[in-house]
Structure 1
Amino acid sequence: MTTEASTSAFRRENVKFASQNDLCAAWVYRPTASPLASRSGTSASKQYPAMILGHGLGGIKEMGLDRFASRFTELGIVCVVFDYRHFGESGGQPRQLLDISLQLQDWEAAIDYTSSLENVDKERIGIFGSSFGGGHVISVAAKDKRVKAVISQCPFTSGFHSAQTVGLLPLLRLGVLGLRDMLFSSKDQILPVPLAGNPGETALMNAPDVIKFRRLIPANFDYADYVAARFALHIGLYNPGWKSASVHCPILFAVCGKDSVAPPGPTLSYAKQAPKATIKLYEQMGHFDIYVDEHFDIATKDYNEFLRANL
């Protein structure tokens, strides 16, 4: 269990909230600074805007989301960072089951929970998703009008295009493993497939720079680098970018120009369809660069400007 944490800017507590019949584990960051001013320009006394943060393909909150939440909380924003069911410290059996519909339910549950928090302004709730989660937040915002601002980071927008990045033979092998998992695994078991691999290997991500994925895993952290193979049967059919035109709140698309996992071309096309889109193209960044070092600093500066203006 991750211990609680605090700095001069925030205090963080471990919580769990209900999603259907299981519990999602989460961190709640509460700022010690004054809340951001309301849209009218006056102080929103004791009422804080909120951001909800969720990760990508097989990711959990310990894999870099704390850094983003810390930056947002320093603005005077309550942050809720959660793990999807079946992953991390959340409930759900079997473990490492990546189900798109269940994860979208978890986003809705996270919004319900955040809306219930004391001192959260229910009219100023935003969502941040990265990679696969960057696609989820498009889907969620298109449907849930409680969402007032969105940051979609290196987003998965087209299953068709992302599936092509792994290569034909690995894709066929993934399909066979997915069928075996779906047809022959028992209720509480899965057939695992790796999240990350070398080029040509049977993994959900196998581009040359995918090895950078491991930079997100904390040292000496026990992390399961796989998911249920049955997910491979669905990834190519999930196209959250199609819903961009239905996102009517402000949305920032943070697109990595050298993204080898979520191709930037389709994402830029979809982003232009969102009525209130802000598009940031980081031409020299790869998919896993944006989480760390100077790339993180560049992106979060843009995110903070967006949140000041829209939340």
Structure 2
Amino acid sequence: MDRTDVEFLSGSQRCAAWLYRPDGGPETVPLVVLGHGLGLNREAGLDKYARRFVAAGMAAMIFDYRHFGASEGEPRQLLDIKKQREDWHAAISYARDLPGIDPHRIALWGSSFGGGHVLTVAHQDPTVAAVVAQCPFTDGIASAIALGPVSATKVTLLALADTVGSFLGRPPIKAALAGRPGQAALMAADDVVPGYGRLARESPLYQPDVAARIGLHVVTDAPGRAASDLTMPVFFAVCDKDTVAPAEATVKAASRLPNAVVKRYPVGHFDIYYDDAYETAVADQTQFLVDALHP
């Protein structure tokens, strides 16, 4: 298979992406757009998913959100929910215009925070053919409860200070992405630092913190409710031991969808990216996409 560097515009800024095409096969193929979770970029563990999908006869594209990775956007590490979803729509539009890609068979694959994005984006664009949401963020309140009161309070104080500073034109005040229980981090649990760290080490462009203002917006976001009227096939990969995106919130969201496929794995939020859990999940996801995107 072939992987090339490509780029597309989202607003006035450039998003960097990798485009994968299968060797040989039909003249026109479906394509899976992949995006990552909270604060991560395309280098952190997503290449192996794209290659498995391409080996099954699909094309794939992994992109970096604006302000992250190899994409443009200042200040760096600005996590804006609305802008990231605009990036998804821009990626879909770009993919649909690619030669050799069937514009009617575009699927979305998102993990963690990106898993929430794909549910909302598919709600906004019902022509999306299929969705895979891996360990998805579906309910901000559930995730805030999982974060714990001490960490949540510390993050909120940082977020308030950063928001005020942004109105005054000051540089962002940062909040850590990963921490131990009780620390001022957007994700704080016993398995977060080693699990998230394993992913982050794969990316030379990774930075460990983001503008803290996102802490005021995550709690009010609920992609699971926004996705209640999706009609395309949706695959939910649920981690039963998830300390970041609680499993029951995701299962509840999936129960509202008529074409949902739910697979539950006895692992934590970060375990699904590696080893036996990854092999099982990616095989399930690949079969789902092959079935959903069949001509």
TMscore range, shorter length:
over 0.9
Aligned to 1:7: none
Q: Give, in whole Å, the separation in 2 of the partners of 1:187 and 1:108.
A: 29
* Equivalent AA in structure 1 for residue 67 of structure 2: H
Counterparts of residues 41-52 of structure 1 (less than 5 Å): 45-52=26-33
Kindly state the Cα deviation for residue 219 of structure 1 after the two structures are TM-superposed: 5.2
The count of aligned residue pairs is 291
Instruction: State the SS of the aligned residue for 2:109.
Output: strand
Is this contact kept in 1: 2:44–2:202, CA < 8 A?
A: no
Could you tell me which of 212, 215, 223 is aligned with 2:198?
A: 215
Q: 1:17 aligns with which of 4, 8, 26?
A: 8
CA contact (8 A) 2:240 2:247 kept: yes
Matched residue type, 2:267: M
Q: 8 Å contact 2:40–2:200 — kept in the other structure? A: no
1:184 to 148, 165, 171: 165
SS in 2 for 1:214: helix
8 A contact 2:45–2:202 mirrored in 1: no
Tell me which amino acid in the other structure corresponds to 1:125: I
1:262 corresponds to = 245
Counterpart in the other structure of 2:181: 199
Q: Tell me if the contact between 2:44 and 2:203 (Cα under 8 Å) persists in the aligned partners.
A: no
Any gaps of 5 or more consecutive residues in structure 1?
Answer: 1-9, 35-44
Task: Work out the CA distance in 1 between the residues paired with 2:287 and 2:268.
Answer: 22
Equivalent position of 1:62 in the other structure: 43
Residue 4 of structure 1 corresponds to which residue in structure 2? none
SS in 2 for 1:196: strand
User: CA, structure 1 residues 281+261, in 2 after alignment: closer, same or farther (shift >3 Å)?
Assistant: same
**Greater shift after overlay, 196-205 or 180-189?**
180-189
Tell me the TM-score normalised to structure 2 length. 0.96
- Render the CA deviation track for 1:65-84: whole Å, top value 9, x for unaligned: 11100100111111110000
Q: Which residue of the other structure, out of 243, 249, 262, is the alignment partner of 2:232?
A: 249
Identity %: 45
Aligned with residue 291 of structure 1, among 251, 254, 273: 273
For 1:86-97, list aligned pairs within 5 A. 86-97=67-78
Contact 2:151-2:181 at 8 Å conserved across structures: no
Deviations 1:38-70 (A, max 9, x none): xxxxxxx40010000000001100011111001
Aligned-partner SS, 2:92: helix
Q: Say what the alpha-carbon RMSD is for the aligned residues.
A: 1.2
- Aligned ranges for residues 82-121 of structure 1 at < 5 Å? 82-121=63-102
- After TM superposition, give the deviation of residue 33 of structure 1 in Å: 3.9
Aligned partners of 1:54 and 1:193: how far apart in 2? 22
Shift of 1:304: 1.1
Q: What runs of 5+ residues in structure 2 fail to find an aligned partner? A: none
Match of 2:145 in 1: 164
Q: Following TM superposition, by how much is the alpha carbon of 1:220 offset from its aligned partner in structure 2, in angstroms?
A: 7.6
Amino acid in structure 2 at the alignment position of 1:127: L
SS class of match (1:152): strand
Runs of 4 or more, structure 1, over 2 Å off, are 185-189, 217-222
